[in-house]
Each structure stands twice: as C-alpha cells, then as structure tokens.
Amino acid sequence: MCHPAYLSSIGSAHHHLVPQLPGSLVPIPEIDGRNRYQWTQGAPIQRMVPPTISAVPATRCRRSVPVAIVIGAILSLGTAGTLVAVAGPYDAEIGALREDIDDQRSIIAGRHDHIAKMQRRLAELDREVADTDGLIGLEDRELRLLPIRIELTADRFVEVLASREAPTALHRTMAVDAYVSNDERLNDVLTQSAQLTSTALEGVRHRMLYDSVIREAQRRIELVDAEMRVTAKEVAALRALVAQAEDRRDGSREDRDKLIDSQPAIHADIAATRAVISEAEVTIAELEEEILAFERMAVTRRWTGVQGTDAARPALAVKIDNVTRAHPQAGLNQADVVYEELVEGGVTRLVAVFQSTSVDVVGPVRSARTSDPPLLQGFDRPLFAYSGANRGTKSQLRDSPLVDAGFDAHEEDYWRDQNRRAPHNLFTGTDRLWAHHTDRTAVPPAPFAYRYPGQELHESAEPAGGVAVDFGLTEVDYAWNGTGWVRTHGDRAHSDADGVQVAPANVVVQFIRYGRSLADLRSPEAITVGSGDVWVFTDGHVIRGQWQRPDADQPATFTADGTEIRLSPGNTWVALAKKDTAVWRD
C-alpha cells in the first residue's frame, strides 16, 4: 500500500479540480478485520498545480504495471478524494495483460500435458517393473527347479553307470556256467550252427562262447554308454539352462533397477512442472489484479488523465486577455488546457479550454482571432466564448464547426467588473454557458495522452529545469520546482485572481508557423494543421519530438522516435511558438 504522505502528495496535485483536499488518510476497521481507508477532512489547499505522478526512469522493456502501484492508486481515492490516474487507452493495457494471461494459461496447459505424459510414463514404468518382477520370479522358480532336475539326472547317471557292470558280469557267469555244465540247449544251438567234426566243434564252442559273451557284454556296455552320454548331455543342458536363467534374472534385475532409478527423476520433473504451474497461476492472479485495477480505475476524465467521472458535456473554450493590465486573470488554474497564441504587436492571448472542470468566474474575456477556429476545430464542435470579433473573423466563425457562446450570443451570461477598466473587465462562468447546451452529452476527443501511475517516461526524456519562450513583447518562462512548471510573465510571477501562481503539470512548446489573417492583415494567424517540432515538458524532463495534425477535425498528436508521448495527469499549457523563439535549460 502507498504511504499516506505519498497519497496526500498525489491528491494535492489536483487542487485545481477540487475546492479543498483531505487532511490525511486514516484506516477504518471493517467487520472482516481489514481496514478501509478514508480521507479525513482538511483545510483548504494552496492552489498549486504540481505533476500527478513522479518521474520514473525510462526503460525500453516493460511487461506490465506493478500491481502495488495501481492498487495503491485506487485505495488512495477514498470516499472524498480525487486521485490522479490515467485516461489513456486502457483497452490496450488490459488487452496486453490478457495476452499475458493467455500466455500463462498456455504454459499451464502445456505443463499439465507434460505432467500427464510423465504420469503415463510412471504408470508404464510401474507396469514394466511389475512385468520384470514377474520374470524375475519365474527365473527364480526355474533356478530352484533346475538344481533338483540336475540332481535327479545325476542320480540316474550313477544308476546307469552302476548298471554297466551288472549285465557284463551276469553274461560272463552264464557263459562259463553253460560251458562247464555242457548245457544241451546251448550245445544244440552251437551244433546246428555248423557241421563240424567233434574235434573242431570243441574249438568252435570255446570260440563262440567267448565271442558271445564278449558281444553281449559289449552290446550292454554300448547301451549303457549311450544312456550315460544322453544323461551327461542332459546334465550339461540343465547347467546351461541354469546359467541362462541366472543371466536372464540378473538382466531383469538390472532392468528393474534402471526402471526404479528413473522414477525419481520423473517425480522431480513432475514436481518442477507443478512449481511452474503454480508460478503461472500466481502470475495470472497478479495479472488479473492489474486488469481489475485498470477496470476499477475506469478513468474517463480523458482531458486531464485525472481520476473521476467524465462530465457529459462539450468542451468550452474561452478567449482570455493576457496583457499586463488584464492581470490577474480568473479561472486559468481550473482550465484543462490553456493555449497561448500570438496576436498583434507581439503580445499574446490565451485560449482556456474547460471540459472536466467548471469555474464560476473566468476572464477577462477578449475578442476572437482567425487562429481560433482551426485551433479548436478538433474538439468536436466546442463552445467558444469571446467578447466580439471583426467582420472577417465572425464570418470564419460562422463557417466553422465551433458553437458560438460569445457575448453577442449570450449577453445575459456575461458581466463587467466595475473594479477594472474596460476592455479588460468582461467575465463569464462556464456553467452559465454550458446550460444552453444540455443536449450535448458526448465527451469530445482528448487533446493529449496521459501516463498511468507507475508508467515510465518516454525513453527519450531528458532532465530539464525549465523553458523560456519569447513571443515578442510577451516573454514567458516556466521553471520546474519539483511539483509543477511555475510560470513567469515578463519579470513577474504569473498568478491568478486568487493569488495562486500558475504551475501546470505539463508545458508543451509547439513550434508552428504564423501567417497573415485575411480578416486583418496586421493580425498573425497560427497555422496549427500540419506538422512540426514539439517540446513536451513533464515531471522535470523534456521530450523532444514531433507534432502531427493532418486532419483539422482531430487534435494534434505528439510522438518521439515514432512512439507516442504521454503527459503527466493534470492541466497543460501549450505555447504556440515560432521556430527558434524558445530555449530550454537543464
């Protein structure tokens, strides 16, 4: 929240818009425990016109308005205060903030998609870990069974090996027994096998018996050996299966460990992504607060950039005398804009334009010049108050879109101050003249664009202490005093009828050409349609740029390096100066 002293200084910046300012900002407790801030009534202010927001160093890149500054500006408004704000193109600012919100929401959507992807990956990893655990379980079971199978096969191998001896011994014993006992069955077989002599038969019988025993034993041994080889192969195959199962189990364990090891990184990624989402959500909340701040400010006083509700009425321009004998003038410090233009003899006259504020007394009112219709035409048929005009000027006024609110049109709304000498004693009041045009409710185009609270000065802004303008017999000077540009007329402070020195928030030196008026060749005519150089003095700085006004039906625009120049909220004086007649100082 802004410091009360700061808020008070801001509020006092626009004394010319309110009769008095509050004394202080005090907290009022609410039921919910929060404080509502309200201005307490204070004494009448000194009518100075300091700038409405402090100068901020220019930067080339700025994302958005700090929430604290904008919210502070709103809170400081209070119930009776009048706070500065900006009547600039808030739609552009709000649009930019909404684009930022859309960007943040896109980030959030993308991050949510990323989290969903990571969570799907975690689910896949969990399934893969479960599948791998299943494989490891199968391999463990296989490894528990394979040793049993190997053991059983080894037992069978031993049995086969043991069986290799038994058949051999048996057959050998049987052959010996048959031979010794002279078994008739065997002898018959042997006898039938060959027709041999008994002597030869005896040798053959011995040989056949031996060969039979050998062959039988060999056959049995070969069978046993074959079975042993098969059994040995089975053992080797089982051992190979064990090795393969162990390799698969080890590989599955490595895969599982890798899957498990990859999960923390994914969890960390999800956590970091959620942090990004949280940050984006906080950013969105801040941006929405800024948008709300802009919407709540609802600045409609386009003519000064000051917080408040726009008056539904046309602009009213009053032609004011500016010779020394006409001083002090009334109502100057209440005008939204004051133009200073050259007239005959090197003196100047003022055109005070009112829209957002009114004043009971303004003047002395003087005659119109042909410079006035083109100058004021861009303000959408403004009312024009003047004391009179020559024939040519009147003709030009009739042909212009200006609405005649002069002395001849509304004599009853003008009066002369008997304490002053004519012709420097004619006065009027703004409400008197507006009363004739209550049907006019549209707010005319604003003459300038204004900065909002916290917005930087234009990047080309240079520190400036003041500026002097030489119109001829009239010489004026504006000096920055830290709060406004105090005006000097000749060698005297330029003060109004209330004794308050003129000190506008902004001073614009608009360099133009002057031609000769067709209504009076002695009278210079300001050429305010076209383009040229401009110096904009605001918040202790000067911004040197260009003014453009290609269309007389629109106000002039000010730019520097192709970028719009925004003024400080408050009132503005514009010097319509010839080239090389002004000097600024730092």
Domain positions in the chain are: 129-290, 316-585
- Give tens-digit pLDDT for 298-355: 555 789 988 778 889 999 999 999 999 999 999 999 999 999 999 999 999 999 999 9
CA quadruple 411, 415, 418, 422: dihedral positive or negative? Answer: negative
Has residue 475 got a pLDDT over 50? yes
- Give tens-digit pLDDT for 103-139: 999 999 999 999 999 889 888 888 888 888 888 888 7
* CB-count burial class (<10 Å; 0-12, 13-18, 19+) for 11: buried
The residue among 118 and 142 whose pLDDT is bigger is 118
Has residue 196 got a pLDDT over 70? no
> 129-290 — its CATH code?
1.10.287
CA 445 to chain centre: 29
Q: Which residues contact 160 (CB under 8 A, 6 or more apart)?
A: 224, 227, 228, 231
Q: Minimal CA–CA distance to 172: which of 220, 208, 216, 224?
A: 216
Q: Minimal CA–CA distance to 511: which of 545, 542, 462, 464?
A: 545
Q: How many CA atoms lie within 13 A of 367 on its CB side?
A: 14
Q: Which residues contact 182 (CB under 8 A, 6 or more apart)?
A: none
d(CA 231, CA 159): 11
- Give tens-digit pLDDT for 241-265: 888 888 888 888 888 888 888 889 9
CATH fold for the domain made of 316-585: YerB-like fold (3.50.90)
The neighbour count for residue 441, using CB atoms within 10 Å, is: 10
Are 129-290 and 316-585 equal in CATH topology?
Answer: no
Q: What is the pTM of this model?
A: 0.56
